Amino acid sequence: MRHVTQAALLAASALVLPALPAHAQQAPGASTELPREPFDYRGWDAYLGGAESAQYSALEQIDKGNVNQLAVAWEYPAGDGAAPQFNPLVVHGTMYVLRADGRLAALDPATGRELWISEATGRISTRGINYWQSADGSDRRLVFLNEGLLRAIDARTGKYVPGFSVDIREALPDGHAPTPRPLMTSNPGRVFEDTFIVSLPAGGGYASHPADIQAYDIRTGALKWVFNVVPRLGQFGSDTWPEKDRELFGGVHNWSELTVDSELGIVFVPTGTARGDFYGGNRPGDNLFANSIVALDARTGKRLWHFQTVHHDLWDFDLPNAPKLMTITKDGKRIPVVIVAAKHGFVFVFDRRTGEPVWPIEERPVPQSDVPGEDTSPTQPFPTWPQPFVRMEFTEADINPHLPPEDQARIRQILRESRNEGLFTPPSLRGSISVPGHNGGVNWGNSAVDPARQRFFVVSRETPVLIKLTPPNANATTVIPNRGPDDLAYGSPYDFLRSANGMVAIKPPFSFLTAYDMNTGEILWRIPNGTSWVLRERGVTEDVGSQAPRGGPVTTKSGLLFVGTAGDRMFRARDQDTGAVLWEHQLDAATEGVPAVYEAGGRQFVTIPVGGEGLHNQLGAPKAGPNRYVTFALPRR
């Protein structure tokens, strides 16, 4: 790739677009054509409902007036093992689910009757898979990663497609860190036309393989293109990294989800933190394309535009949520947008054709690191609108009053002794408070849109953490790339400030469900998302927010919002307009996946994965029930 300087690119962009923030840059050739709307939202043939990741269904049989009649229609046992998080697919009258033994099963979506179990064995992407068929429908495949291999099975029989097996390590460049184990990820990837697009997982160490984005021909398995998330020398963005040992930098991985605009032919990839998560002395610079939303041409892998939401990340503030697409009306003008919910609580909104922010994003000064060898970014991006969906500070007044007195005293002492200067307080040897925390904010599957009403819904939680770096050990053997042999890595244990009974340090609500009107950016409502089992046992019955709200929301054209909460083992239907609960079902285990909404035999169904403790093993709740898929429907007429 020919090297293009940052200044030259900005100058070229300024000829055709309003000036973009310094870290949002459009590549030459980006389209300004208005895409056709809407997409087809009546099926559920891909992870999160479709390649556009809307988590929205246009089906209307279940509505506000009858949703209180929902009842269990059928269940399918998933078997012993890890709790299911899998988002089912329903295609051509067949549902596909993942069992706990790692095999896929085909079911009758109206009854749950098992049709076949696949011959696939070993690890499969745990959140979802992909469906593809040829133009004439004669070739129908389920495409997924299987023990680090790109594999496909016949969607009608569950048998492997002969000769279709690709080790995704083969596309790694020469000189990368050793990768002796197969590369697996829970990210299902995406299908666009006859192409499968997937992000490589990243290693956990400072020196690891690059987590590049790869695209493969679904028919042949041939590699089509690769996008380097850590730019190679001479590529755009390479000046934001040190020059030496470029192939050793890890992280920058799209570990969660990605989104495809099939009309514009753009794939939107949210990326994670560069390694290490809390110390970046090995990687001075902004570190593109870490912590970025990157828009790529889905046919060629060419970068169209990008925006970096955190520079030189030291907080593990990655982008774990699939970007959402819709067309809004702002100041009388229709704008096709992509919405990015960030782990640290901001909502970033861009014209998805060009990357131009819909509302201004400002670079503001932030606290600086006092750790030897660390080079903190002097500023970070702050959206001026919409308002964030989480709290971004934690003071003594915010300590959870439901903690035992000794735990409250311990947290109070930690707050007094630690650096605590707001959202971007850098990690320190002294100890630094981070909120909403790297296990807080938004996570995979945690947002949905109603493209007809131009609404955006996000599930979030707040889990303050103490990031206290430990100085290099004189006997340590891990040497940071690009530093001298005496400069060793700083470590950071995970300290979530939880009490002995598992409760978080911050006062309720522990989690929120927030609704935005995306035409104006206004928050329509913001409510606690669920209840706390341990507080219910103490007589606290009001909604205080679940401590583990990992269930993904799904919206419907009839104005419903379905969402599960693992912390209290509940599945609810809410009114989109107000957030009010219209129906709820008590489960005997957690639900941490995204529901699937579909139609079969003239009936509308809602299926959710169920299983696991949902933190109850710490909170003294009853033992969890079995792993299974639970499907709800209205009574038969």
Range picked from 22-26, 169-173, 426-430 for highest mean pLDDT: 426-430
Higher pLDDT, 485 or 558: 558
Q: Any idea which of 7-16, 328-337, 415-424 has the lowest mean pLDDT? A: 7-16
Domain spans in the chain, listed from the N-terminal domain onward:
6-633
* Residue 7 confidence (pLDDT) above 90: no
Mean pLDDT of the chain: 89
Kindly indicate the confidence band of residue 619, based on its pLDDT and cuts at 50, 70 and 90.
low
Place of tokens 């055709």: 16
Distance CA 143, CA 190 (A): 9
Q: Considering the entire predicted model, what is its pTM?
A: 0.93
Q: Are 575 and 558 in contact (CB under 8 A)?
A: no
518-546 pLDDT, tens per residue? 999 999 999 999 998 888 888 888 899 99
pLDDT score recorded for residue 207: 67
Place of tokens 């007036």: 65
Distance CA 548, CA 565 (A): 7
Task: Output the CA–CA distances (angstroms, integers) from residue 580 to 454, 509, 530, 554, in the order listed.
Answer: 19, 16, 11, 15
201-252 pLDDT, tens per residue? 886 667 677 789 999 999 999 999 999 999 998 999 999 999 887 777 888 9
SS3 content of the chain, % helix, strand, coil (to 5): 10, 35, 60
As a whole number of Å, the end-to-end CA separation of the chain is 62
For residue 226, give the nearest of 288, 171, 175 by alpha carbon: 171
pLDDT score recorded for residue 12: 30
Residues with Cβ within 8 Å of residue 352, at least 6 apart in sequence: 261, 264, 266, 268, 295, 325, 336, 337, 338
Distance CA 14, CA 21 (A): 11
Kindly indicate the confidence band of residue 23, based on its pLDDT and cuts at 50, 70 and 90.
low
Kindly indicate the confidence band of residue 472, based on its pLDDT and cuts at 50, 70 and 90.
confident
CATH match for 6-633 among 3.10.20.600, 3.60.110.10, 1.10.10.1100, 2.140.10.10: 2.140.10.10
Q: Any idea which of 7-21, 34-48, 177-191, 201-215 has the lowest mean pLDDT? A: 7-21
With the C-alpha atoms ordered 588, 591, 596, 597, is the resulting torsion angle positive or negative?
Answer: positive
Task: Output the CA–CA distances (angstroms, integers) from residue 108 to 61, 94, 116, 550, 595, in the order listed.
Answer: 20, 6, 10, 27, 17
87-97 pLDDT, tens per residue? 999 999 999 99
pLDDT score recorded for residue 406: 94
Higher pLDDT, 9 or 113: 113
* Residue 11 confidence (pLDDT) above 70: no
Kindly indicate the confidence band of residue 464, based on its pLDDT and cuts at 50, 70 and 90.
very high
